[in-house]
Structure 1
Amino acid sequence: MIYVFKTSVNTREEVKLLSTDLNELVQHGWNIDLDDCDKVLRIDCNAETSDGVVELLHRRGFDCVELS
């Protein structure tokens, strides 16, 4: 299932900072659209993993809210 989140990730450097952890957590793929005003993170995963993604970003100091 595809989950979509609004984030506070703003730069490519920040994406690189998160990439190793996101690659380990999300098995089916993810991307962050830095051109979108909401800096949208899209992930292909299950509900349990999506909760882990929110926790990961919060631990790294980023805002992350699922969009409905």
Structure 2
Amino acid sequence: MISIFKTNIGDEDELLSIANTLNNKLPEINWNVDLADCDRILRVESTSNFNDHIVSLFKKLGYMCVNLEVFYSAPK
């Protein structure tokens, strides 16, 4: 499953703060953020749906995170 989110992460320092939380709370996901994109896109790959949890974590940290799209892929 691949989920795409729009965020308001401003810079590398903010990204590091969020990275620590994501890595500690959701170690089972693979993720990256495109700070060069105007929507600061967060891309998450996982085997389960963590979308609500991710949005909640961002909100608790004081950031916006909106789920734009979810892609499902067949199991390997």
Runs of 4+ in 1 over 3 A off after TM superposition: none
Cα shift at 1:26: 4.5
Cα shift at 1:28: 3.1
**Count of equivalent residues:** 67
User: What's the counterpart of residue 5 of structure 1?
Assistant: 5
Does the aligned pair in 2 maintain the 1:5–1:40 contact within 8 Å? yes
What fraction of aligned residue pairs are identical, expressed as a percent? 37
The residue identity in structure 1 corresponding to 2:44 is I
User: What's the counterpart of residue 17 of structure 1?
Assistant: 17
TM-score with structure 2 length normalisation?
0.81
Q: Does 1:64 align with 2:65?
A: yes
Structure (1/2) with the larger helix percentage = 1
User: What's the counterpart of residue 44 of structure 2?
Assistant: 43
Gaps of 5+ in 1: none
SS state of the match for residue 35, structure 1? coil
Does the aligned pair in 2 maintain the 1:7–1:65 contact within 8 Å? yes
TM-score with structure 1 length normalisation?
0.90
- State the Cα RMSD in Å: 1.1
Cα shift at 1:21: 1.4
Using the TM superposition, name which of 8-17 and 24-33 deviates more: 24-33
